[in-house]
Structure 1
Amino acid sequence: MPHEVRGVVAAKKGAPVEVQTIVVPDPGPGEVLVSVQACGVCHTDLHYRDGAVGDGFPFLLGHEAAGTVEAVGEGADGLRPGDYVVIAWRAPCGTCRSCLRGRPWYCFDSRNAAQSMTLLDGTPLTPALGIGAFARKTLVAAGQAVKVDPAARPEAAGLIGCGVMAGYGAAVHTGGVRRGDTVAVIGCGGVGCAAIAGAALAGARRVIAVDVDDAKLDGATRFGATDTVNSRGTEPVAAVRGLTGGFGVDVAIDAVGIAETYRQAFYMRDHAGTLVQVGVPDPATTVELPLIDLFSRGGALKSSWYGDCLPTRDFPILVDQYVRRRLDLGAFVSERIALDEVEAAFDRMRDGKVLRSVVVL
């Protein structure tokens, strides 16, 4: 029997979001119905609202979510009602060319629920990143619901579903930060701070946070930054090199995604160092670099997709780190809000006043 619940809908490009009644079907084969307990407000939701992620309006927003399985469809193996889960937007298919080559974190056919959630009049909703969790219930593919330790508070655990995993994975998986490395992270929002935390947990001996906001830089130290650089008044490449004996860092992470910060990260690297871009760029952004610098400096230039993660492997690990008090997920939660406060939370996000607002249901 379909379920009618309240959800946050972006009805048309650039318009304020609305809380509307939506219809969530019972799970079909390979699907699960999740009762959402908390869901973070991510920049990607704002991109959907503003029409920067396709034109599939109306969108049902929300994708950084934790909750409990309410019902399972046929074939949803390994899950049962009551299981505590974090929802992933990557659920590897197991059969595409990437999965078959042993690289499921690059799956080309990630699974989502086959049935649509709708408005009351039957209009299909496009769920953000295949999740749509700014609602009391959501329908996802079974592979998207990853069981984790129920000791983790949902407003903290849900953030692993996107921003924390993206940043942590950019450092640990894509960047391959190892014990004794030096690391610079440009941009100390939620993703950047997660990259800082990942680098610190991996054993980096120096983690340099770069931002234009002193308050964000102060916050970055809570996640493991050993040094901070305010690039509003200081040339950041020179500052990072000055902190590393003139050499530059082993891994430079651009968590902003604009041409200027990409170039800064490129030149912050030591010889043969690694650059990781995890900040989502505007589609129109381009970068120009001298080809001789690309050749002579060596190293690797990488883009990090979802922290190159495998949710079934990595979500439980990060939750365990949180439960053991080695990863302070609670520090990412700036405020707890209701469904009808999401639009105002977008404003605070634009102004850089929060790491994460979290809708608690």
Structure 2
Amino acid sequence: MPQQVRGVIAPGKDEPVRVETIVIPDPGPGEAVVKIQACGVCHTDLHYKQGGINDEFPFLLGHEAAGVVESVGEGVTDVTPGDFVVLNWRAVCGQCRACLRGRPQYCFDTHNARQRMTLLDGTELSPALGIGAFAEKTLVASGQCTKVDPAVAPEVAGLLGCGVMAGIGAAINTGQVGRGDSVAVIGCGGVGDAAIVGARLAGASKIIAVDIDDRKLDTAKSMGATHTVNSLTTDAVEAVRGLTDGNGADVVIEAVGRPETYKQAFYARDLAGTVVLVGVPTPEMTLELPLLDVFGRGGALKSSWYGDCLPSRDFPMLIDLHQQGRIDLAAFVTETIGLGDVEQAFARMHEGDVLRSVVTFA
């Protein structure tokens, strides 16, 4: 029978979030109910709250989560009750033209639970990225559940569900950083720092972190950046060129999602270099570049959606690397908080005080 749990909703554009009672239906065919153990506070959740994604309020926020499968619906065979899982927002369909061409990381028909979670009065909720995990339990498609080693702490494992995967994947999967490459990362929040970790893991020889906040640059250096540039006081393009023998970086990862920082990335790359956009822009943003420069510089301009990841492949791999001590996922967790602290966590995020706040459940 349906369950009632506590969850955090965004009731309207720029309105404070609040904790409400959420009704979770029994899982239908292809669905699973997951008891959430931890969920990171991601900037995408703030985008939802601000109306930067769409206007389908009210939203049930939260998507960067780990927990235990509680129950499954008819026909579910990939997970069973008791499995420890990281939730993902790329549940590949296996049937679209990308999947059939052997490129499931670009699946064009990823799926979510068919049923809607609601408020007590029956108001349907829009779960953030099809997940809605700032809640004690949530309903998802079973394909959104990726099994990983339960020995890993939930607050660490859950980060793979979005920001950390997006950043590491932007470097390794999308940017295809190779041994000896020079890499610049513009924007050193959670995603940017994860891109730095990914570049280091791939064997980059020079990793240049660019931001306007010295605190973030210090953190970036602890994550593996070899050089830092404060673009408030220094021309970022000239600085990156100066650190790469006047050429520009082989790969530049833009982790902000703004036209001005994208232009910096475009001109800070080597002539045949690659720009990777992993920062999420808002709908009203536009970009203007001289077409001759786009033509004349060659190379590649790429967008990285979820780090071009395949959760079933990449999540367990990164957990293994964490357990081997080759990457420190725990370094991304600044603080653990309660369900009622999400609004304050957004404020701390906006001020640049945290890398990741993570909601944990007893």
State the TM bucket, normalised to the shorter chain.
over 0.9
Deviates more, 1:49-58 or 1:182-191: 49-58
Indicate conservation of the 8 Å contact 1:212/1:232, yes or no.
yes
Q: After TM superposition, give the deviation of residue 282 of structure 1 in Å.
A: 2.0
Q: After TM superposition, give the deviation of residue 130 of structure 1 in Å.
A: 0.4
Structure 2 residue identity aligned to 1:331: A
Indicate conservation of the 8 Å contact 1:187/1:254, yes or no.
yes
**Structure 1: runs of 5 or more not aligned:** none
Provide the residue aligned with 1:98 in structure 2: 98
1:183-230 Cα distance to aligned partner (Å, 9 max, x none):
000000000000000000011111110011111011001211111111
Provide the residue aligned with 2:220 in structure 1: 220
Provide the residue aligned with 1:110 in structure 2: 110
Provide the residue aligned with 2:187 in structure 1: 187
SS in 2 for 1:232: coil
Partners of 2:73 and 2:176 lie apart in 1 by 38
Q: After TM superposition, give the deviation of residue 253 of structure 1 in Å.
A: 0.5
**Structure 2: runs of 5 or more not aligned:** none
Provide the residue aligned with 1:316 in structure 2: 316
Structure 1 residue ranges (4+ consecutive) displaced by more than 6 angstroms after TM superposition: none
Identical-residue share of aligned pairs (%)? 69
Indicate conservation of the 8 Å contact 2:78/2:143, yes or no.
no
Provide the residue aligned with 1:333 in structure 2: 333
SS in 1 for 2:216: helix
Provide the residue aligned with 1:238 in structure 2: 238
Q: After TM superposition, give the deviation of residue 51 of structure 1 in Å.
A: 1.3
SS in 2 for 1:178: coil
Deviates more, 1:191-200 or 1:93-102: 93-102
Provide the residue aligned with 1:84 in structure 2: 84
Partners of 2:354 and 2:142 lie apart in 1 by 32
Q: After TM superposition, give the deviation of residue 162 of structure 1 in Å.
A: 0.5
Provide the residue aligned with 1:60 in structure 2: 60
1:38 and 2:32 matched = no
Q: After TM superposition, give the deviation of residue 78 of structure 1 in Å.
A: 2.4
Partners of 2:248 and 2:50 lie apart in 1 by 37
1:103-152 Cα distance to aligned partner (Å, 9 max, x none):
21221211111111111111111110000000110111010000001111
How many equivalent residue pairs? 361
1:76-110 Cα distance to aligned partner (Å, 9 max, x none):
11211111100001101111122112221221211
1:133 and 2:133 matched = yes
SS in 2 for 1:355: coil
Structure 1 residue identity aligned to 2:288: E
Provide the residue aligned with 1:161 in structure 2: 161
Partners of 2:121 and 2:60 lie apart in 1 by 15
Partners of 1:149 and 1:192 lie apart in 2 by 26
The TM-score with structure 2 as length reference comes to: 0.98
Indicate conservation of the 8 Å contact 1:151/1:323, yes or no.
no
Structure 1 residue identity aligned to 2:117: M
Provide the residue aligned with 2:176 in structure 1: 176
Provide the residue aligned with 1:264 in structure 2: 264
Q: What is the aligned-residue RMSD (CA, Å)? A: 0.9
Partners of 1:358 and 1:159 lie apart in 2 by 9
